[in-house]
Amino acid sequence: MVATDGRPAPKGESPAFDLSTYLKGRQAQVEEALDLSLPLIYPEKIYEAMRYSLLAGGKRLRPILCLATCELAGGTIEMAMPTACALEMIHTMSLIHDDLPAMDNDDYRRGKLTNHKVYGEDIAILAGDGLLAYAFEYVADQTQNVPAQRVLQVITRLGRAVGASGLVGGQVLDLESEGLSDIQEETLNFIHTHKTGALLEACVVCGGILAGVTEADLGRLSRYAQNIGLAFQIVDDVLDITATQEELGKTAGKDLIAQKATYPSLWGIEASIAKAKELIEAATTELKPFGENAQALIAIANYITTRTH
Ligand code: GRG
Ordered domains of the chain (ranges, CATH): 19-306 (1.10.600.10)
Cβ of 171 below 6 Å from ligand 1: yes
User: Residue 181 — φ and ψ, nearest 5°?
Assistant: -95, -10
Q: What gap in Å lies between CA 136 and CA 129, rounded to an integer?
A: 12
Ligand 1 touching residue 110 (CB < 6 A) = yes
pLDDT digits (tens, 9 = 90+) for 258-277: 677 888 988 899 999 999 99
**CA pair distance 84, 196, nearest whole angstrom:** 16
- Assess contact for 199 and 132: CB atoms under 8 A: no
User: How high is the pLDDT of residue 128?
Assistant: 98
Q: How far apart are the first and last CA of the chain?
A: 29
Closest ligand 1 atom to 232 CA: 18
Distance CA 217, CA 197 (A): 19
pLDDT at 35: 98
pLDDT of residue 7: 47
Whether the CB-CB separation of 297 and 224 falls below 8 Å is answered with yes
How far apart (Å, rounded) are the C-alpha atoms in residues 93 and 96? 5
Q: What CA–CA distance (Å, rounded) separates 66 from 26?
A: 11
pLDDT at 257: 67
Alpha-carbon distance of 132 to 44, in angstroms, equals 18
Q: What is the pLDDT of residue 86?
A: 98
CA 147 to ligand 1 centroid distance, Å: 30
Q: Reduce the DSSP state of residue 8 to 3 states and report it.
A: strand
pLDDT at 15: 65
pLDDT at 120: 98
Centroid of chain to Cα 137: 19
- Measured in degrees and rounded to the nearest 5, phi and psi for residue 233 equal -70, -40
The confidence score (pLDDT) of residue 246 equals 72
Q: What is the pLDDT of residue 2?
A: 39
> Ligand 1: which atom is nearest the Cα of residue 166?
1
* Pocket of ligand 1 contains residue 240 by CB under 6 Å: no
Q: Say which DSSP state 2 is in.
A: B
| Ranges of residues in the chain whose predicted pLDDT is under 70 | 1-15, 248, 252-253, 256-258, 308
pLDDT at 5: 44
Between CA 222 and CA 164 the distance in angstroms is 19
CA 287 to CA 281: how far, in whole Å?
10
Q: Please state the atom number of ligand 1 nearest to the C-alpha of residue 196.
A: 16
Predicted confidence at residue 181, as pLDDT, reads 76
Interacting residues of 52 by C-beta distance below 8 A, sequence separation 6+: 112, 115, 118, 119, 127
